[in-house]
Amino acid sequence: MTTSTGYELQWERTSMALVTASAPTTLPPAQQPNLTPVKAAFAAALAALLLRWGAVKTAWVAQLAAQVTRAAQDDDVRAFAELGVDPTQGAAVLADAMTAYAPTAAQHVVDEAKAQGVTIPPQVPDSTVMAQQALVTAELLRWPWRSRPATKRSACTVPAVRPMTPRRTCASTSTA
């Protein structure tokens, strides 16, 4: 028989409470939110964004091509590690899309609350905040084209000598 300390009992109670509180509940069909209009509005907003995103992608490809051409012509191998794109256009397109969709999303929240018997005003985020979020997102989207330190890629084979004690044979390659 094992004995538990007060700390262990408290941890067990706390963890069980967290598990119980986070357990998913299923509402009866009549009480479930109708997400069809939300999904339709989001799909339309996404389609509009993607139509405009082609110009961003084209601009980014042109920026990269110009940098590659210049680096090759200058015989500057190190310049290839510094390739990057300007996120400004992407941030502007994202901010416009977010600003255009925000009132629709806010109204869906109001409508769903009303369906549940609650009255709330629509809350549309500040356009300055959305522009900042769009810039961060554009920065993250351009990341694959930014310089980054070399990483080690490992190609390992693990022959089983006996269960639970594999031996590894690895060949590491450095990539940029």
Structural contact between residues 138 and 94, judged by C-beta atoms closer than 8 angstroms: yes
Provide the domain limits for residue 97.
32-145
Q: Is residue 166 part of a domain?
A: no
Percentage of the chain exceeding pLDDT 70: 67
Quote the Cα angle for 37-40-44, to 5°. 140
The tally of domains found in the chain comes to 1
Structural contact between residues 147 and 82, judged by C-beta atoms closer than 8 angstroms: yes
First to last CA, the chain: 56
Q: What is the DSSP letter of 163?
A: T
pTM: 0.62
Q: Is residue 153 part of a domain?
A: no
d(CA 134, CA 126): 12
Which pLDDT does position 43 carry in this prediction? Answer: 92
Average pLDDT of the chain, as a whole number: 78
Q: Is residue 59 part of a domain?
A: yes
* Helix segments in the chain, DSSP class H: 6-21, 36-73, 88-115, 127-142
Radius of gyration of the chain (CA): 26
pLDDT tens digit sequence for 14-56 = 766 666 666 567 777 877 888 888 889 999 999 999 999 999 9
Q: Is residue 60 part of a domain?
A: yes
Q: What is the mean pLDDT of residues 138-150?
A: 64
Q: Is residue 86 part of a domain?
A: yes
pLDDT band at 81 (very low <50, low <70, confident <90, very high): confident
Q: Is residue 163 part of a domain?
A: no
pLDDT tens digit sequence for 145-173 = 554 444 443 344 444 444 444 444 444 44
Structural contact between residues 175 and 147, judged by C-beta atoms closer than 8 angstroms: no
Judging by DSSP bridges, how do beta strands 151-157 and 169-175 pair with one another?
Answer: antiparallel
93 alpha-carbon distance from chain centroid: 17
Which pLDDT does position 5 carry in this prediction? Answer: 59
Which pLDDT does position 161 carry in this prediction? Answer: 41
Structural contact between residues 54 and 118, judged by C-beta atoms closer than 8 angstroms: no
Q: Is residue 157 part of a domain?
A: no
Q: Is residue 119 part of a domain?
A: yes
* Backbone CA torsion sign across 118, 119, 122, 123: negative
Structural contact between residues 172 and 152, judged by C-beta atoms closer than 8 angstroms: yes
